[in-house]
Amino acid sequence: MGLYVETVIRTEMARLWDRSQEPDQHQRWDLRFTSITYLPRAAEDEPQRFRYATRLLPFLSVHGTGISAGERRRADGTRVSALRFSSRHPLSLLAEGSGYWRYVPDPDGGPGIRFLTGYDYRPRWGRFGALADRMVFRPLMGWATAWSFDRLRLWCERGTTPGRALARALAESAVRLLATAAALAYAPLAAALAVGLLALLLPPLPGTPAARRCLRTPPGRVPAAEPRLLATLSTPNLQEPS
């Protein structure tokens, strides 16, 4: 898969599963989605189809559809979910893609759960889209995934709601920017540059989400294997939301 993010969350498996699989909870912490809506299905054992939307501007959103399936009763105690997704929206650089989530309990029975994802997608817009994806969109997607995973971790471990976590991140960023601006305005250049460098490099406070806390490559840099569950899903036929 093209993008990989992993973290360890010290919480109960049921809580982590619900907060990452239930649409009303998932959309609260994941920066990549503004809304996720499950579509009706005929039977519980069928894959779940869904619609998603991401707000680009206050009055502009891109949307698409997807299909997902999950396994929560595996012999080794792990859980996995897989999905395929597509978008016909003309402003969506992402045309179609697929991915998975794995939930791996501590083998020694500890409270930590390795929560990881691997996913990839095909951009549209030809050569321009490929360049825009490589230079801007793909790094942004990787950062947003990692930041969101840490936001979920804080929610599960500390009880910090996603909205409060976002407010803390914005406030801390504002303080860093103001400190840098004040240094540039009133301090010698060398001191101002030092303040700006510190504002950039100092790690966020423990209660503030940070993408840097997540692993961005598989352990050992060996590509993670896709779950067999993914092969059972077909790319959804898209219909524009009504």
Domain edges within the chain: 3-160+210-232, 161-206
180 vs 158, more confident: 158
What CATH number labels 3-160+210-232? 3.30.530.20
Q: How confident is the model at residue 97 (pLDDT cuts 50, 70, 90)?
A: very high
pLDDT of amino acid 223? 67
67 vs 41, more confident: 67
Q: How confident is the model at residue 19 (pLDDT cuts 50, 70, 90)?
A: very high
Contacts of 187 (CB under 8 A, 6+ apart): 195
Tell me the helices (H) and strands (E) count for the chain, helix number first.
6, 7
* 98-102, 136-140, 168-172, 227-231: range with lowest mean pLDDT: 227-231
- Is the separation of the CB atoms in 241 and 89 below 8 Å? no
Contacts of 66 (CB under 8 A, 6+ apart): 49, 50, 51, 52, 83, 84, 85, 86, 236
- From CA 185, how far away is CA 200, in angstroms rounded? 18
Query: Torsion angle, CA of 120/122/123/126, rounded to 10 degrees?
Result: 150
Residue linked to tokens 């092969």: 231
pLDDT of amino acid 41? 86
